[in-house]
Amino acid sequence: MKEYCTYGTHRVIEPKGVLPQAATVIDNEPVCHPNECLIDVNVLNIDSASFRQIKDSCDRDETKMRDMILGIVKKQGKMQNPVTKSGGMLIGTVSKVGAAFHDQDLKPGMKIATLVSLSLTPLSIEKIHSINMTNEQVRITGKAVLFDSGVYARIPEDMDEKLVLAALDVAGAPAQTRRLAQEGDTVLILGATGKSGLLCAYEAKKKVGPKGRVIGLVNNERKKELLDTLGLCDDVIVADALDALSVYENVRAVTDGKLADLTINVVNVTNTEMPSILATRDQGTVYFFSMATSFTKAALGAEGIGKDVLMIVGNGYAKDHADITLDIMRESEALRELFLTRYAS
């Protein structure tokens, strides 16, 4: 009798011996094994770094983007960008629940958002209906498999499902910010007007309190105006996140040379490791949530400039991260309306 692994290794085709995320090819046959949940997929939310890479490489041509996405899934059995190695998440309706699946309260017909990456999720796509260039969401007809170890959130009835998908795609970031930010801290956020940046700024503002400061770094005046309107940041710096010395000098100026206690990097472009490290005080913390981060550049770069900082890799999962993120959407009318406009249209 075939054994079915909690972590999904029974679907790994190559190379053998690795978990599905690290595999180059997995079995995406849309059947429900005893310890799996089969999902009818409506929408994919492609990871920001991955979506940007696909969009740029296809010159923003939607037909080419559809072909690329279909090609990736056909070749690998999952939506894992071969360049960025990242995936995203999905919304769908439960089709079938295996008899050995860990949550037997999950029933066919329930709408859920998966909280595990598409980079490890068996996925088959029948058709791509549309690609939204602004919110990174791809509407499809297809099926996906959730492994027994997989986490998910049921779609709350009081929220638009596309809003939920957009928010939960980055749920790990505000949850980790809640853990890392301390009262009185100076927190710097690179990419402060993206989905994760806004959620992190909101959570950081609550945690640091009146004696702390939240600094948002953006690349143009229009984004600065948005942050000023939302009131999520005490200071907003307009600078190129790729320019390490410019970021450092700007942060140094607004902090009277003290730099940031905690820097949160949520940009979706490469080569922002050193600006993050330089802008952080010695023995401060840098949280790299961006999937565009290079461990090699961060580790060797910090060593090269003699900077003693704690560097944390952004885990997309954190305990209660879905509840924390959806609570932000309920608490902040301004953020909720912005997310509805940007991501649920």
Domain ranges of the chain: 9-165, 172-320
Least confident interval from 5-14, 54-63, 208-217, 290-299: 290-299
What's the pLDDT score for residue 255?
A: 98
Quote the CA–CA distance of 19 and 26 in Å, as a whole number: 10
H or E, element range at 250? helix 244-254
DSSP string of 95-138, one letter each residue: EEE-TT-S-TT--TT-EEEE-S-TTSS-EEEEEEEEE-TTT-EE
- Average pLDDT value over all residues in the chain: 94
> What residue type is 300 in one-letter code?
L
Cβ(180)–Cβ(204) under 8 Å? no
pLDDT at 1: 57
176-188 per-position pLDDT tens digit: 999 999 999 999 9
Our CA angle for 51, 56, 57, nearest 5°, is 100
CATH class given for the domain over 172-320: alpha beta
* Higher-scoring residue by pLDDT: 1, 218: 218
Q: pLDDT value at position 318?
A: 85
Which of 47-51, 108-112, 241-245 comes out lowest in average pLDDT?
Answer: 47-51
Calculate what percentage of the chain has a pLDDT beyond 70. Answer: 99
Q: Which residues, in sequence order, are bridge partners of residue 312?
A: 287
Q: Which residues contact 265 (CB under 8 A, 6 or more apart)?
A: 190, 191, 272, 273, 276, 286, 287, 288, 289, 290, 293
**Looking at residue 274, what is its pLDDT?**
97
User: What is the mean pLDDT of the segment spanning 147-173?
Assistant: 89
Please state whether the predicted TM-score (pTM) of the whole model is above 0.85: no
Closest CA to 182 of 159, 144, 213: 213
How confident is residue 52, by pLDDT bands cut at 50, 70 and 90? very high
- Which residue has better confidence, 77 or 170? 77
Mean pLDDT of 221-243: 96
